[in-house]
Amino acid sequence: MYRVYIVEDDKGIADAIIKEGALWDIECRACKDFRDVMADFAEFDPHLVLLDISLPFYNGYHWCQEIRKVSKVPIIFISSASDNLNIVMAMNMGADDFISKPFDMSVLIAKMQAMLRRTYDFASKVSVLEHRGALLNMDEGTLIYKDENISLSKNEYRILLTLMANKGKVVSREKLMEALWKTDEFVDENTLTVNVNRLRKKLQNAGLDDFIETKHGRGYIVA
């Protein structure tokens, strides 16, 4: 089942799309927090985003740019601000289509289905993990926090991927060393400690203090 993330502050419109999508086996979710769209985006991991322009706190152009920093997921703008300038701006910022309000629900569903077919018949989606505003792009092996791209070594990426994929759980040192063995490089206890400390320093320099917490005798956890 495809997942569609709806960033639309008109609850009536969002609820109508969710109801119609369910009839076509499309799981739709409306944005819960317009101050932190990216956290919900990363958690839901959608195949398609529907995005309004006029939103509380930040407009749709802002969130389109933020999504494009970490994902190539298709984005369709749905807005009553459908003059040529807004349409051109939306497309230039990375949108894939623009649908003017008011719209016919059957037309919206048809465009969504066409976009999903075109995208996922030929390419796989980009997966993103999020924690405390830090976004880890699993396809490109990059970490972005507050518009900064944090450079990661192969081992640092593996450590962070394992910890963020197990968010809320303590990851043992043994499990982390197993993850690092996938890099075809021998890793012992001392090497793991050096890599974790180096990663912590990079995260701290970027403003992510205490991002990796040590649980003595058990392992590590993202905090």
Residues sharing a CB contact under 8 Å with residue 205, sequence separation 6 or more, in sequence order: none
pLDDT of residue 185: 59
Counts of helices then strands in the chain (DSSP H, E):
8, 11
C-beta neighbour count of 133 within 10 angstroms = 14
pLDDT of residue 141: 82
pLDDT of residue 223: 87
**pTM, two decimal places:** 0.64
pLDDT of residue 142: 87
pLDDT of residue 24: 92
**Residue positions counted in the chain:** 223
Q: Does a cis peptide bond (omega within 30 degrees of 0) precede residue 56?
A: no
Place of tokens 């963020």: 164
d(C-alpha 120, C-alpha 72), whole Å: 12
pLDDT tens-place values along the chain, 223 residues long: 899 999 999 999 999 999 999 999 999 999 989 998 998 899 899 999 999 998 999 999 999 999 998 888 999 999 888 778 888 888 888 888 999 888 889 889 998 998 898 888 654 555 788 999 999 988 778 899 988 899 999 889 999 999 999 999 999 998 898 888 765 556 677 888 999 999 999 999 999 999 999 999 899 999 8
Tokens of 36: 């932190």
Q: First-to-last CA distance in the chain?
A: 32
What value, to the nearest 5°, has the Cα angle with vertex 128 and ends 154 and 59?
A: 130
pLDDT of residue 137: 87
